[in-house]
Chains A and B, each alone.
Chain A
Amino acid sequence: MPDLRKVAAYTALTLGALACAFPFALLLSTSIMTYQQSVTYPPEFIPRPATFENYVRAFTSSSLLTYFGNSVLIALLTVAGQLATGAMAGYAFARLRFPGRNVLFFAILTTMMVPVQVNLVPLFAMMARIGWVDTYWALIVPDLAGAFGVFLFRQWFLNLPQELEDAARLDGCNPWQFFWRVALPTALPAVATLGIFQFLASWNTFMWPLVVTNSDALFTLPVGLAKFQNQMAETTNWPLLMAATAVAVLPAIAVFIALQRFFLRGLMEGAVKG
């Protein structure tokens, strides 16, 4: 006698999973259609013959490669920055004593309570004043450090066994040597977690790059895609747009699948951040 609950559960889950996966299937199938096929009614969802010309055209008729390169550059730099600054600060807050430690940590923590939209206008005004509008500086520097990274590493380093530190002190290690040679190597899971979080956040962020850049050469994938879609306002060539979108989406999915474990762990920590 099949467990009805289990059957219901499997059914519901499968339907949900199909619903989640379906738009991606649509994305791919549309991307290999020709424009003509996409505007025939009734539509064929598995185009015969399929074509990859849209992928080629996506790169040749738009600056998709530039957008991709920008997204990669900014993601890598901000991940590196967040890891470096977060690990160092997290370590200091967790294991070093200094005046004002609690106050400073609290100050950093409060930034997690502030929604990004509150900072948008003044940060933009600041960028305008110092002439960073429409430059890589504006896209990279503000994201080189963040409270979440500091918080994450501090949590991690708080759990370092005291004996490790005592032994290092006896050996005459200074804090930097201890950090670099002992503490950090044990923190690789935290590195992976923050890494994937920051990568995805940077890869997918839209509003700030939209606001602070307006030159094609500086657009990241989300902004570039939006502009690409905008240009087609009159008669949208959906297959072409889907191909460009697929190019934007696949790296994020690949990174996610590779580092799934760490992402999920980070989500639970991130439940505080929301």
Chain B
Amino acid sequence: MGVESLPAGPSKGHPLRHEANWAWLFIMPALAVIGVFSLLPTVGSFAISFTSWDLLGTPRWVGMDNYQALLQDPLFYKVVGNTLWFVVLYVVLDMVIALALAVALNQKIRGLAIFRTAYFLPVVTSMVAVSIVWEWIYDPGFGILNVVIGWFGAEKVHWLSDPRFALPCLVVMSVWKSLGYTMILFLAGLQAIPPEYTEAAAVDGASGVTRFFRITMPLLGPTLLLVGIMATIRAFQTFDSVYLMTQGGPRRATTVVVYWLFQNAFTYFKLGKASALAYMLFAVLLALTLMQWSLRKRWVHQEEGT
């Protein structure tokens, strides 16, 4: 990535007077669509965040009021708290389980393709479909989870309507969905580590566990950080599952930032407040994305270097 220079040319023959004009023709469609429907709204979102607007009439300038109001709203802190709680649970679970599976997969396993296909079924399925199926799994009356815990004599739990369990249930489902993706990324990271390092340690008598934690893990550092950041960004953007399964409840236990943004913008038509919230989210995700990109560069070079 980064903007490499064009190979030297034109060295022979044909003049390229019209090259620039051709270029415009080539980029115009992409530029027009991206400019109008992506760049423009990003700028627009910033502007709207300083107004009060319900889509009818014209936006009314209110300066920093939306941001101030958010920071003084107890619900804002609850939403942020919910989101952070979701993110932490999700990232930890996702990474630990995926890493364990990637290590397993790295052991020169046969049937790699079959495993990979199975693990990717959740990844390519829409979150809507996943939410519907898991809602059935979590169903208090006849869902399989309560059936299974019933075998052990436990009472039926109202998973999604209990404020204690609702959010963790969403996390478990999200981890399940992205496990294959995270696992593949870790696998790539593991495979980039030259086997000589661990083999040398084995010759020196180090046990498998020691080898893993003293050699593999440190070398996996950048990968861990990269994957962790990507998982964090993904977790911050949770919306579909909340909309389908809990609608932000019970008692706001599962209202995460993007869901609250949706309610503010499209249920209550507080476009200014929603945009301010979006930009605060943007600030957080931008910082994470920039970290991810700089790490990715290093990762690619690490790969290319081996």
Please measure, in the bound complex, the distance between the C-alpha atom of A108 and the C-alpha atom of B14, giving whole angstroms: 30
Would you give the 0/1 interface string for B136-173, flagging 1 where the beta carbon is closer than 8 Å to chain A?
11010110100100000000000000000000000000
Knowing A170-B12, A274-B289, say if A252 contacts B126 (CB, 8 Å).
Answer: yes
Would you give the 0/1 interface string for A234-274, flagging 1 where the beta carbon is closer than 8 Å to chain B?
00101001100100110011001100100110011001101
Compute the total of residue contacts between A and B using a CB distance below 8 Å: 316
Knowing A242-B133, A256-B124, say if A114 contacts B38 (CB, 8 Å).
Answer: yes
Knowing A13-B115, A93-B27, A204-B127, say if A99 contacts B121 (CB, 8 Å).
Answer: no
Q: Are A26 and B19 in contact (CB under 8 A)?
A: no
Tell yes or no: A182 within 8 A of B by CB: no
Q: Are B48 and A121 in contact (CB under 8 A)?
A: yes
Q: Are B20 and A97 in contact (CB under 8 A)?
A: yes
**B224: A residues at CB distance < 8 A:** none
Please measure, in the bound complex, the distance between the C-alpha atom of A274 and the C-alpha atom of B233, giving whole angstroms: 8
Knowing A96-B26, A114-B38, A170-B12, say if A23 contacts B134 (CB, 8 Å).
Answer: yes
Interface of A is mostly: helix
**B19: A residues at CB distance < 8 A:** 96-98, 175
Please measure, in the bound complex, the distance between the C-alpha atom of A203 and the C-alpha atom of B124, giving whole angstroms: 10
Within 8 A of B (CB), among A179-238: 179, 200, 203-207, 210-211, 221-223, 225-226, 229, 236, 238
Tell yes or no: A56 within 8 A of B by CB: no
Within 8 A of B (CB), among A39-85: 39, 41-43, 45, 81, 84-85
Could you list which residues of chain A lie within 8 angstroms of chain B, going by C-beta atoms?
5-6, 8-10, 12-13, 16-17, 19-21, 23-24, 26-27, 30, 38-39, 41-43, 45, 81, 84-86, 88-89, 91-99, 101-102, 104-108, 110-111, 113-126, 128, 141-142, 144-147, 149-151, 158, 162, 165-166, 169-170, 172, 174-176, 179, 200, 203-207, 210-211, 221-223, 225-226, 229, 236, 238, 241-242, 245, 248-249, 252-253, 256-257, 260, 263-264, 267-268, 271-272, 274
Q: Are B42 and A249 in contact (CB under 8 A)?
A: no
Q: Are B30 and A150 in contact (CB under 8 A)?
A: yes
User: Size band of the B side of the interface?
Assistant: 35 or more
Please measure, in the bound complex, the distance between the C-alpha atom of A169 and the C-alpha atom of B16, giving whole angstroms: 10
Tell yes or no: B3 within 8 A of A by CB: yes
Within 8 A of A (CB), among B280-297: 281-282, 285-286, 289-290, 292-293, 296
Please measure, in the bound complex, the distance between the C-alpha atom of A176 and the C-alpha atom of B266, giving whole angstroms: 44
Q: Are A9 and B296 in contact (CB under 8 A)?
A: no
With A200-B124, A225-B132 known, 5 other A-B pairs at CB within 8 A are: A12-B101, A16-B101, A45-B144, A125-B53, A249-B129
Knowing A121-B48, A170-B14, say if A206 contacts B128 (CB, 8 Å).
Answer: yes
